[in-house]
Structure 1
Amino acid sequence: MSWACPAPVQSWLFPLPVRVCAAGARPPVLGRVPEGRGRCRPCLGQGSEAKAGRTDLIFLIRFRHCCLLRNQRCILAYLYDRLLRIRALRWEYGSVLPNTIQFHMSAEEVEWFSRYKKSLATYMRSVGGEEGLDLTQDIKPPKSLYIEVRCLRDYGEFEIDDGTTVLLKKNSQHFLPRWKCEQLIRQGVLEHILS
């Protein structure tokens, strides 16, 4: 996935939509805003003037309210799209995100990613018997069970199912089981060598 994550969401700019999107709940209808908070100076007295009989302001108040609702819908759509992309990152990179991607995420998004990661891990443990079922493996059906890989950076010792350990050093090549390598390929430690 070649998604360049934009700058982190500044939750102080629109705290209600960030809290709503993080909680997964529906947003409440914008209600009465306390005097002096969240209103522009010329609009502060319009509510009381409309109650006093200035009916020409009712259209302006309704229009402003519709604009606020539209802006809220746009912000929620943007935040929901970011959450979908963050969810896709879990499937692409695994449970550990690269620092370059985490740098572009807000604290709320990192927390949401962590909760999604834990929820997915709990589900995978509950399915498939004692060992569980790893749904992140074999996203594409494999052509062979073993693949040839090249190590892109020093990783250290890597243990295979039969108990043997392989030392993964930069530029070394190995013939390893595909399902053991996929996570390291996604993390950028290994590279699949196509003959």
Structure 2
Amino acid sequence: MRKVVLLMHVSLDGFVGRSDGDLQWIFPDMDDDLTEWTIDSLSRMDTHVLGRVNYEEQSGHWPYSTDRLAPLINNATKIVFSGTLEKVEWNNSRLATGDVTEEIAQLKRRPGTDIFVPGGARFAQSVSRLGLVDEYRLIVHPIVLGSGLPLFTDPIDLKLLSSREFSTGAVALTYRRA
């Protein structure tokens, strides 16, 4: 059965973005090694599940990007959960019509590779709170934001599966639920 993987960048104090949504603090740490790690991770995920806010941000960027990650993201199946969108137009996207728990359970039973949850913060919190995430891949950056958009709002017991340090000081930590 496929697993659901939440892969997100997070500050040392647990924020995925500044209060205004700014993510520029991530990019100084995105060296070639971390980029390769990210490409390797994304190449094992053929389906992305995301909320409206993240869909709107990504669909405005990736179709026009020449970044090495763009083909992996653009060619993946994207399932968008939204109570306000009436249609989605990004390549290989569809609007989820059912309950998040039911939709993800159906996706896990279908053939394919892992299912990627790229965020945003509220959607990640929601699928985590519902117990739908099988594996957390957190890229922890050596920065303290002090405030912002938290990744976690509910307690979760996790077990460390692996860690990888990058020359920039960022660390990739992979966990599963304990």
TM-score scaled by structure 1?
A: 0.22
TM-score, normalised via structure 2 length: 0.24
Q: Which has the higher contact order (CA 8 A, sep 6+)?
A: 2
Larger strand share, 1 or 2: 2
- Structure of greater Rg: 1
